[in-house]
Structure 1
């Protein structure tokens, strides 16, 4: 009986792998044109090295030493390109693994366009076949949108964990159970209609788009328009991946944490674009229920928030073998540096020019929801933000500020450091600022 079960498992794995490989040979995902590669660099929040260092390595990831990065299920190359570009001037190797030869060739051409061929090693095959003997070990593993397409995601996670260095970290993305309710109802409809896994064709996509456009207002797909605005503009590969995929598993936060813990991993943090949707204190802090809810396991609190908002369609997060890998923001020997997000919205200059008691910035996130970041302002905090250069430590900047009588007028010396630490915490909580250890090289150097 045990042999029969193992054979059945192997056969099922082979069927799913073959089906997924066929899909991505026909429709490489996501749809990318290598000829337009140099028009812009696609930003991947999960793979920003400064964020990875801050969230997963306590700020101690030293890129002056040889590093290895794995992109497992790299598709047409968004993460591979973004990581390789950041590692251009460092002694690092990026290994790109994917089932689809056609998708991998697109990724390869994108890398060639950028002159990064010496940075990337290519390997066609399943991530399930990764092992220390054939792949070695990696400091960071990216696996986005892949595990949930496996027959047994835990086997995929175990394979990745087997090639992760003991102090390494992973950036992962799996589908969210509640936010994708409308998608799973539509998948069920297509299954009943005998269309799940149908051969892609222009006729199939044209008819499916017509079908979506005539759905009644009562259909869940219509209810979900505010959180899945991308569907209207989705290309063929995106539509097929969303609705016609033959293997698609989703997770609540509690289920996700259980999956990770079973593999000996801990969830470190979610990425900034969805972090707010897991914070139950925003929902219940004014409720008499909060005293009881706040004592529940963190994953259960996060799942309550996930259900409340109903718009988490993807869980994007970092994980590692040990918990609490984030930087301690109170350490004065760490070096602050502005994030790419801060540079995009010009946070530094905005703060330096701000004269009111509180500096604020609003971010529109999924579903049109607004998140506001507030920083209590003072001449000291303003000067601190102006002096951040990714070279001076927090303590060194504070010492410079303390030497200015005009900046510190009316303040006790003991008040200055706490004021700055509070501002640092506000900025790092929203990924506007990252910290690194002074013995590491600046990622932007």
Structure 2
């Protein structure tokens, strides 16, 4: 049996209990439909129309369940296909869906079969592929397969591991492979836990605060430290894979984390140097400076469409708020000119002009920006000038998206 298939038959990942569906919906990025709309369809998709989605490497079903539930709540006629090698993972995913009264089509096949499935059922408007491409024998073939399965106007939400935030993981994988590589999965897990408990304080993995899957479950430990195929991607490496597959990045999440400016002195000398860099070079620089990115989440489309996919501030756009009470935030911004937020252990200051504070409560009203401006008795250009910096800042930390037809 393929070692990766053997792993996920023994330890479906992430560890999930279908009984918990009665208590909570696991949420995250990518693949929340509002996020999909914002980053891939300019916030303008008509969700009354059919939506064809593929969850490529669906595991125990987090993306599948979240997307299916959100689309069902919105009344969208969605057709979702789940694709994975592991029957054990599929069984958990399908049980979670059944617990919610949701349905999908399940395929126990390789991710490389995505184009064949698209040929059988129609190309996909959206593809979710999280935590899979970096485990393939030939990741480039995987990127190409996803691209070939996409409809021309569609897009994908991808997650791959990143190198700098996983410091110590790969030396630890090598060490455990040398010690335990011939053992059965259950024996590997038990012995790995003993080895981790004895690590010296100088060990890079022990000193890394950004990885914790091994503390959550045996499945998490196996996936993090005992995986037989696992490679990380830096920003340039990931962008190269996308380009080779005929894809292009629309945005990383969260966008603010891929801005190097907050990690450098706020001086004219550094500002001038940053201006010389392309967008891709700025993304890569931010990754190297921050040092805490253990994964990259990126929305991508067919090359040539990346500049027209993401929502922008417009009179027709409808804001969808994804944060704390916007009234309280408005008061904080009025007093302090911004707010602090922590992402992956790093504190970021999010500056927002005080003049934009009165508009923040309206972000939860489900009115368009044009209607918000009209209620404030402002012409559109004055409103856009006043609120534009706030829009970019809030979207940059994933608190604000645009979608006309989907409720939060």
Q: Which has the larger radius of gyration?
A: 1
Distance change >3 Å, CA 426–CA 179, structure 1 → 2: closer
Partner of 2:312: 329
The one of 370, 374, 377 equivalent to 1:399 is: 374
Give the Cα separation in 1 of the matches to 2:232 and 2:310: 30
Please tell me whether the aligned partners of residues 183 and 221 of structure 1 are also in contact (alpha carbons under 8 angstroms): yes
- Note closer, same or farther for the CA distance 1:113–1:323 as it changes in structure 2 (3 Å cut): same
Matches of 2:79 and 2:393, distance apart in 1: 34
Q: Aligned-pair distance for 1:332?
A: 1.6
The question of whether the paired residues in 1 share the 8 Å contact of 2:250 and 2:310 is answered with no
* Secondary structure of residue in 2 paired with 1:350: helix
Residue 185 of structure 2 is aligned to residue 200 of structure 1: yes
For structure 1, list consecutive stretches of 5 or more residues without a partner in the other structure.
Answer: 1-14, 404-411
1:333–1:395 CA contact under 8 A, matched in 2: yes
Change (3 A) 1:325 1:19: farther
- Residues 1:111 and 2:91 aligned together: no
CA spacing shift, 1:330–1:39, aligned 2, 3 Å: closer
Contact 1:335 1:390 in 2 (8 A): no
What TM-score, normalized by structure 2, do the two folds share?
A: 0.91
Q: Any idea what the Cα deviations from partners look like across 1:32-86, whole Å, max 9, x if unmatched?
A: 1112221100012211211211111111221110111110000110000000000
Does the CA-based 8 Å contact 2:21-2:99 persist in structure 1?
Answer: yes
Residue pairs, 1:319-358, within 5 angstroms: 319-321=300-302, 322-327=305-310, 329-339=312-322, 342=323, 345-346=324-325, 348-354=326-332, 356-358=334-336
**C-alpha contact 2:315 2:380 (8 A) present in aligned 1:** no
Q: Residues 372-422 of structure 1, C-alpha deviation per residue, up to 9 Å, x if partnerless? A: 3232234xx44433334554221122112118xxxxxxxx99744421333
Aligned mates of 1:27, 1:355 — CA distance in 2: 46
Matched residue of 2:296: which SS?
Answer: strand
Aligned residue for 1:407?
Answer: none
Q: 1:306 to 1:327 in 2, by over 3 A?
A: closer
Alpha-carbon distance in 2 for matches of 1:27, 1:401: 55
Mapped to 2, the partners of 1:300 and 1:205 lie a distance apart of 40
Give 2:20's match in structure 1, choosing from 36, 40, 44: 36
Equivalent residue, structure 2, for 1:247: 229
Secondary structure at the counterpart of residue 185 of structure 2: coil
1:266-312 Cα distance to aligned partner (Å, 9 max, x none): 1111122xx44432222335464553454234333322322222221
Which residue matches 1:310?
291
Q: Which residue of 1 aligns with 2:59?
A: 75
Q: Does 1:283 align with 2:263?
A: yes
| Cα shift readout 1:165-192 (whole Å, capped 9, x = no counterpart) | 1110100011112222311011121233
Deviation per residue, 1:228-286 (Å, 9 max, x gap): 2443x2311111111111111211110110000010111111122xx444322223354
For residues 195 and 181 of structure 2, the distance between their equivalents in structure 1, rounded to whole angstroms, comes to 15
Aligned match of 1:49? 33
How has the CA–CA distance of structure 1 residues 105 and 376 changed in structure 2, closer, same or farther, with 3 Å as cutoff? same
Aligned partner of 1:98 in structure 2 is 84
Cα contact 1:29–1:75 (8 A) shared by 2: yes
CA distance in 2, matches of 1:244, 1:276: 32
| CA positional deviation for 1:204 | 3.1
Alignment partner, residue 407 of structure 2: 444
Is 2:71–2:78's contact at 8 Å kept on the other side of the alignment? yes
TM-score under structure 1 length normalisation? 0.84
Change in Cα spacing, 1:303 to 1:104, as seen in structure 2 (3 Å) is same
Aligned residue for 1:220, secondary structure, equals coil
Q: 2:252 aligns to what?
A: 270
Aligned to 2:139: 153
Please, which moves more after superposition, 281-290 or 95-104? 281-290
Q: 2 CA distance for matches of 1:309 and 1:96?
A: 35
Any conservation in 2 of the 1:135–1:163 contact (CA below 8 Å)? Answer: no
SS of 1:134's equivalent in the other structure is: helix
